[in-house]
Amino acid sequence: MTKRLASMLKEAGALLENRDYTNAAALYHETMQLQPGNAAAAMGIAMIHNRTGQPEEALKILHGVWKAITSSKTKENTLSKAAALAQIGLAQQQLGRLIEALQSFRQANGLFPSTELTKRIQQLESIIENPRTIEQLLLRASQFYRMGQFDEAVKIYHAALQINADSPEALHGLGLTLRAQKDLDGALPLIQQATILAPDRANYYNDLGMIFQDRGEIEKAVSFHKRALKVDTKFVPAYINLGVAYKRLGRPEEAITAYRQAITLQPDSAAAHNNLGNLLRIQGDLSGARKELKRAIQLQPGNQDTLANLAAIKQKRAIKKPAVPKKTAGKSPVITRKTTTKPRTRKNTKMKTIP
């Protein structure tokens, strides 16, 4: 290694310790340009990724670093291996791969023991062996899901599944999170597995129905919404989503029945009133539709879908009322004809699910 490269690496290391990650990264990248494959510079870049919440990028680089180090025969090989393993463990821990992280930390500590690594090992062992750990992880993941921070939720659900691969709650929660990220192919098998492990959960079957609706497989969706109702005959979200599915299949009477059943069980369901009102509007029952939509807006003021449906009713009624021409002395009344456009049909409201 030239003196210039050594000096650049030393300066970059100092910047890294001072948390000046931008300038440190610039120097490491400059070093890589001068000497492609420089393991020390690559390690520095990986450390920056780990410290700035980019563990996936860190792991990609660290796999290359590990390959370079293990093929080297220098005296510093043992220390370099320990450092690389420690960084790999940090990346794995951030990604929720706790058992893998623990193994990496143990290997690193075996090569080059340190107080920091010993402390990390003890912390991970405590987390993994604590029976309440999964409950705490599921709670945190659910909070991230509610806040729309789906990437963080995914990491924590994976951490829970590392501890217990057969946790139906973790499988279900991860499935819902992937569905929110539009990864239906990833979500489907997870929730299917959750229903196998916990066949008494009506919401799991209902959520399977929603995934099939997202996939456009409406008949399958109907079967799973009905399955949910076999498990729990009073599970309102299944009635609402069953109504949505029936409407999409062109079976409005069955949809109306499903919505009315939901309202019977839960009179304060804004979604059920909105969906029923929208369907009655489409069927031409403007009076009944207006009644349901008024109730929906009372329960959920400001809901844009409901307001749009009410506006559509108002527009439809205005079209039906003929204009009364004004009488003008000595002149025949002028009759005007208005061209009308079909009012836009609003989408039904599907029930949201929270793990």
Q: What percent of the chain is modeled with pLDDT above 90?
A: 70
Same structural domain for residues 156 and 115? no
The model's pTM is: 0.66
User: Could you tell me if residue 213 is inside a domain?
Assistant: no
Three state DSSP letters for the chain: CCHHHHHHHHHHHHHHHCCCHHHHHHHHHHHHHHCCCCHHHHHHHHHHHHHCCCHHHHHHHHHHHHHHHHCCCCCCHHHHHHHHHHHHHHHHHHCCCHHHHHHHHHHHHHHCCCHHHHHHHHHHHHHHHCCCHHHHHHHHHHHHHHCCCHHHHHHHHHHHHHHCCCCHHHHHHHHHHHHHCCCHHHHHHHHHHHHHHCCCCHHHHHHHHHHHHHCCCHHHHHHHHHHHHHHCCCCHHHHHHHHHHHHHCCCHHHHHHHHHHHHHHCCCCHHHHHHHHHHHHHHCCHHHHHHHHHHHHHHCCCCHHHHHHHHHHHHHHHHHCCCCCCCECCECCCCCCCCCCCCCCCCCCCCCCCC
What pLDDT digit, counting tens, does each position of 283-307 carry? Answer: 999 999 999 999 999 999 999 999 9
Task: Report how far residue 240's alpha carbon sits from residue 219's, in angstroms, rounded to the nearest whole number.
Answer: 15
Same structural domain for residues 181 and 138? yes
Same structural domain for residues 121 and 147? no
User: Could you tell me if residue 178 is inside a domain?
Assistant: yes
pLDDT tier for residue 338 given thresholds of 50, 70 and 90:
very low
Same structural domain for residues 125 and 157? no
Query: How many structural domains compose the chain?
Result: 2
Structural domain boundaries enclosing 37: 3-129
What pLDDT digit, counting tens, does each position of 73-94 carry? Answer: 665 588 899 999 999 999 998 8
User: Could you tell me if residue 235 is inside a domain?
Assistant: no
User: Could you tell me if residue 224 is inside a domain?
Assistant: no
Handedness of CA 29, 34, 36, 38 (dihedral sign): negative
Residue 53 has pLDDT above 90, yes or no: no
Same structural domain for residues 40 and 121? yes
Residue 191 has pLDDT above 80, yes or no: yes
CATH (domain of 136): 1.25.40.10
Same structural domain for residues 8 and 125? yes
Residue 355 has pLDDT above 70, yes or no: no
